[in-house]
Structures are given as C-alpha cells and as structure tokens.
Structure 1
Amino acid sequence: MKRTFFRVILGVCISSPLVVSAQNNLNGQPLNVPTSSVPFLNFTPDARSGALGDAGVALGDPDANSVFWNPSKLVFAKESKGLALSYTPWLRNLIGDMYYTYLSGYSKVGRNTAISGSLLYFDLGTVDFTTANGVAAGTFNSREYAITASVSQRLSETFSLAASVKYLNSNLAAGSSNPGLKPGSTAAAEISAYYHDEARDNATGKGVGWAFGGMISNLGGRLNYGGTQSYFIPTNLRLGTCLTLFADQYNKFNFVLDANKLMVPTPNYQTINGTSVNVNANKNYFDSIFGSFADAPGGFSEELKEITLSTGIEYWYNDQFAARVGYFNESNEKGGRKYVTTGIGLRLQQRFGVDFSYLIPVKQGSPLADTFRISLVFNFAKGTGIGGDDEALNDEN
C-alpha cells in the first residue's frame, strides 16, 4: 500500500531550509543547504524573543523562557521561581491543525544555583493515508516533543554557566498501518554561558548595561525511523550580545543581536563513477559537528552565508510595558528566510506577564506569513537578588 506523507513533509520542510536541499539553482547545480531532522528543536518558542527577530541568548531580565535561549541566565533572575507557557499556531495559512507549545520553569537553589526544565511539543496535525488507488487507509496524528533539564551555576558576580540534558522523540507515522516505521528518539546535551555588567547612576537611573551569551544546543545522536538511514538533529551554535540603555528610572532600551550557525554537514555533491554523491553525508559524528565550520564546497565565503542574524529593539516603561521590533535574515542561497517581527508585553506587579508577537515576511507568499505567538509568564516568589556582595558567592551553594 502506498502511503502519502505530504502534510508531514510540507510541515517539516517549510519550517526550515530542508525543502531547499532537494532543489537546484538556475544552473542546475544542487543548492548546498545544511539540513537536519526535527527542526522544531530550534523554533523560537516564546513571544518575547519572537518579537525581537528570534534573538534571546544574551537578552536581559531572564524568565522561565531562558531555559530555551540560555539557562545560565537564570541565576541572575530577579525572582526565585518562575513558570512560562507559550503557544504558536504553525503554518496556519497552509495547514490549519499544526501548532507547537512550550512549557518551562525554574527554581533557584540558594543564591548561585538554579535548576530548570522544559517541554517543547510540536503537533504536525493529522496525516491522511491512501492506497495506490487513492482509497482512504486511515489517519495518524504526527507529533514530536523534547524534554530538557538544566543546572545553572553562577561563578562570579557577572558570569555564569549551565549544562542541560535533553530527550527528544519524533513520531511521524509509527503506530499507523505501516509496520516499517517507528518513532525516532535520542538524547542530547547543551552548554551555555552568560556574562553581564552595568554602570548606572543610582540617583538618576541613567546608565548603560552590556551582556554576552553563548550556547551550543542539541549535541546528540542521529535519529532513525526504522530504516537503514539515520538523520542529524539540529545541533546549533548561538552567540549574541545585548546593550541596555537606561534613560532614567522608568525608561530603558534593549538592543539585541544573535548569530546562529547550524552545526550539521553542508551538502557537497561530487560526481563519482558518473553518479552525483554527497560526500559529506556519511561522516562520523565529530567530523560532522565540528567540521561543519569548514565543509562548505564554496569555502569560507559560503560558510559565512550559513550564519543567520537576528536583531531587535525592546523598549520598557517602568518594567511593566514593553514594545518590540526585530528582523531575521538568512542568505538567499541558504534558505532565504527574511522577516520583520513586532510585539508587545505587559507585566502586572512582576507576578504575571503576557507577551504577544507577530511575524511579517519580507517576500509575499511566504508560508510563515501571519505567524503569531503568545506567552504567559508567572513569577512565584521574590528573588534573593543577583547580589553585589562577595557573600553571595559562598552562600547556599
């Protein structure tokens, strides 16, 4: 019986450059776009960063969503406990029943340590199966999820590190009438770092703050769906910075910039015995991940094109109301995603918050058009403070 997975393939491919890798350029040459399975692991889950062009690795005022962007920031959170819930309908102009949701939380353990966890769930909607003759042969709800646990540790008044472990599961059609398919699953690890400082006048509130963040996410094995081929997961390097301008006691601006590099092999097609072969497809794990910075057939200039840039500006009034705008840019030769983002945020007595973001593609006809995100943020206890005294480094480790 012939099975059609059109909706699954469409949903996964359009959400990342995967679909481009199967195409050729105008000269008939394959496009060298790095690809991976389970691209949902790198989807922006929350509305705050979603309104800032998908930037967040060094963004200040950390909350529970930092589990995704950079959990090492959580030791500097103002509150000792937090929870966040986000929801995003995905490709809603093409497929009406796809969405992903993100639940995350953290708790400080003393002044210098925080533990956190998250669940990212991606529902790809209902897949319709048919026979070779077009006769209906049942349906299946495709779904993927990832569970993450993190430990963050402050090493000084301005610097912290975090380590995370993750379990991910991708069930595209296992359990359907096709006995050859099974869920793909694997474990992964993540490491992140964060540095921040500020110079501010206590009387006027004026000053400047600066931060730097970095994270390597999804360092793990390949996925196998029951066949002979295994697929890379989207290991990603994210580096970023944030500049904060304090206009006075009530008004401040955050300027953020993130750079992302997918650490998977770049396709490199060569003709061997009359057949076009991707010579980077069967590299071992370490050669694939760490060699991804120098494996593009076009050399260093092509490697630079594989870096996506996210930038945004966030305005806060009295830490209660926020307005945001951002921009995401990807090379036309590596997927061509380009879009403007915007959004707002509201905080009520620092205990409850809501954020909303909206995505506006630069090009008409983009499947990402009209994407919106909404996030709820909850804070349960006043924090022990990020500290300014030496005692903080030795208290309650």
Structure 2
Amino acid sequence: IQYIDNNQQDMGIYNPYELALDATYARKFGESFSLGTAVRYIYSNLSSGQVSGGQQIRPGSAVAVDVSAYFKKPTFFLGSDAIVSGGINISNIGTKMSQSEGAAKIFLPANLKIGAASTFLIDDYSQFTFALDLNKLLVPTQPIYENDKIIAGRDPDRSVPSGIFGSFSDAPGGFKEEMKEINIAAGIEYWYNQQFAFRTGYFFENPQKGNRRYLTLGAGLKYNVFNMDFAYVVANVQKSPLANTLRFTLLFNFGEGK
C-alpha cells in the first residue's frame, strides 16, 4: 500500500500484516443451554519503521477474550411448531494496543451483541427464521472539548474495566446518545428441504455514529457435508465502501454427513 500524508506527500510503500490466533472452548449444559469462550492473540504491523508525528511506528500486539451464552428450545409459537433461540456475546475484552513509541494505547473494539431468533417449521420441507441482533461497542465515547478541557462526557483515558462499564453512561449527549450507539440488524431466512436457502437482512447504524446502512440479499446450498453461501450488499449510503460487495462462503461440515 502506498502511504501519503495530510499534505499528499509520498511516504513510501508498505506491506501491512495482521494476524489473530484463537483458542476456543464450548460446553453444552443440558439440551437447551451452552456457554463458550475464546482467547485471542492479536498482532498488527501496519507500517513498521515509518515515522508519523515524530513517533516511530512499531508493530502492536494484544490479548483478548470472548465470552458467550446461547439458549435454544423447541416450542409451539404463533400456531406453529417452532424453535426459539437467544444469545449474548461479549467480544474483544482485552489489553490496549499502541503502534508507535510514546503514543497513548487505544482500546480494542470490545463489543456486546444480544440476539434472538424464531424458526417456524411450516411443514416437512419449509421453514422460516426471523432474527434480530443488537450491537454496542464497549469503549469510551469521545467527549466534547473546549480549550483542551472536557465540557461534556468523560475522560477517555481509562482502564479497560472502566472503559467497558462506563461505556453505558459516558456519552456527552446522555441517555439519548447512548441509544444512538446501538446498531440494529434484522434478517429473514427461508430453507427448502434443508438444501436451498434464501436470505435477506438489513443493518442500521445511526448517522451520527458511523452511518453504515445496507441491505443484504443471499442464497445458500447444502448437500451432504458441502455448504455454499452467497450474499450481495446493497448500501443505501452514497459512496459507501460496502456498496455492491459480493461475499462467498464455502464450508465442509463433516459432522453433518453422519
């Protein structure tokens, strides 16, 4: 990648390199409930050796943990056999990272996700799933400064636990702004004979908090241990880097063929 500074001056060509290694463990408790955790090592080398703002850029590293819980239970809902499920995941709880000498360390993007879904078994061949996810970053919200003094919000230079727990009450705009930090995603999936799937979904992020908004359309194919999924992203924000993105997934699930 060719780097340029704020004055459009050439800063050289670099080969960014990033790596994440995960070790995961999950356990089922009874037929309906399960817990999981993951430990992650993160290494990021974006432009080692470069000098930016008088600071020598160096590789950064961090360690993070994910924890999650999942509930799934067959039931009878809205006049049909159904499967209701719900889950919670807290990801990237970890050490701060810095990529330059003497620079302040920054938070990893710790995130809270809460989701629920209902699958309706229409008949022996057809089923519909309706899903809803809520996401919120567990990092400090930037305060409002005036003459280098904070006039609204809280100092973001905090410990990791303080940053996580304080992320629910540190927005300069109070509770109303905290609600704007919650991203909403909803989707519908249809399966025919557990072989062909069609999906659509929508993701919304408040315009003041990133303004990512897009529709997804997708399809899937399952045969024995082979799974293939396709998705197309339709962004409704002008000049979005996500516009017209194609996503493909190829999966071999050897446990499925037993």
Tell whether the structures are fold-level matches, with TM greater than 0.5: yes
Report the Cα distance in structure 1 between the residues aligned to 2:141 and 2:154, rounded to whole angstroms: 10
**8 A contact 1:358–1:372 mirrored in 2:** yes
Report the Cα distance in structure 2 between the residues aligned to 1:280 and 1:371, rounded to whole angstroms: 38
Report the Cα distance in structure 2 between the residues aligned to 1:189 and 1:282, rounded to whole angstroms: 21
The residue number in structure 2 matching 1:167 is 41
**8 A contact 2:154–2:170 mirrored in 1:** no
- 1:293 is paired with a residue whose SS is coil
The alpha-carbon deviation at position 296 of structure 1 amounts to 0.8
**8 A contact 2:22–2:39 mirrored in 1:** yes
Distance 1:128 1:300, change over 3 A: closer
Q: What letter matches 2:71 in structure 1?
A: Y
The alpha-carbon deviation at position 331 of structure 1 amounts to 1.0
**Gaps spanning 5+ residues in structure 1: where?**
1-125, 201-205, 385-397
Select the structure that is richer in strand: 2
Deviating runs (4+, > 6 A) in structure 1?
Answer: none
What TM-score, normalized by structure 2, do the two folds share? Answer: 0.89
The alpha-carbon deviation at position 232 of structure 1 amounts to 0.8
**8 A contact 2:49–2:56 mirrored in 1:** no
The residue number in structure 2 matching 1:251 is 126
Number of residue pairs aligned between Structure 1 and Structure 2: 249
The residue number in structure 2 matching 1:331 is 206
The residue number in structure 1 matching 2:174 is 299
Report the Cα distance in structure 2 between the residues aligned to 1:138 and 1:266, rounded to whole angstroms: 33
Alignment deviations for residues 106-161 of structure 1 (CA, whole Å, 9 cap, x no partner): xxxxxxxxxxxxxxxxxxxx23468x995x66411113222211100011110000
**8 A contact 1:147–1:166 mirrored in 2:** yes
The alpha-carbon deviation at position 181 of structure 1 amounts to 1.4
Task: For 1:333-348, list aligned pairs within 5 A.
Answer: 333-348=208-223
Distance 1:177 1:286, change over 3 A: closer
Report the Cα distance in structure 1 between the residues aligned to 2:184 and 2:213, rounded to whole angstroms: 10
**8 A contact 1:238–1:259 mirrored in 2:** yes
**8 A contact 1:139–1:176 mirrored in 2:** no
Distance 1:267 1:129, change over 3 A: closer
CA RMSD of aligned residues (A): 2.2
Report the Cα distance in structure 1 between the residues aligned to 2:235 and 2:36, rounded to whole angstroms: 34
Select the structure that is richer in helix: 1
Alignment deviations for residues 289-341 of structure 1 (CA, whole Å, 9 cap, x no partner): 11101111111111111000010000001111100000001111211111111
The residue number in structure 1 matching 2:148 is 275
The residue number in structure 2 matching 1:210 is 84
Q: Percent identity?
A: 40
Report the Cα distance in structure 2 between the residues aligned to 1:297 and 1:196, rounded to whole angstroms: 38
Is 1:195 the counterpart of 2:71 in the alignment?
yes
What TM-score, normalized by structure 1, do the two folds share? Answer: 0.59
Report the Cα distance in structure 2 between the residues aligned to 1:156 and 1:146, rounded to whole angstroms: 32
Distance 1:337 1:129, change over 3 A: closer
Is 1:321 the counterpart of 2:196 in the alignment?
yes
**Gaps spanning 5+ residues in structure 2: where?**
none
**8 A contact 1:315–1:323 mirrored in 2:** yes
Q: What letter matches 1:347 in structure 2?
A: K
Report the Cα distance in structure 2 between the residues aligned to 1:383 and 1:159, rounded to whole angstroms: 24
1:366 to 230, 240, 245: 240
Is 1:352 the counterpart of 2:235 in the alignment?
no
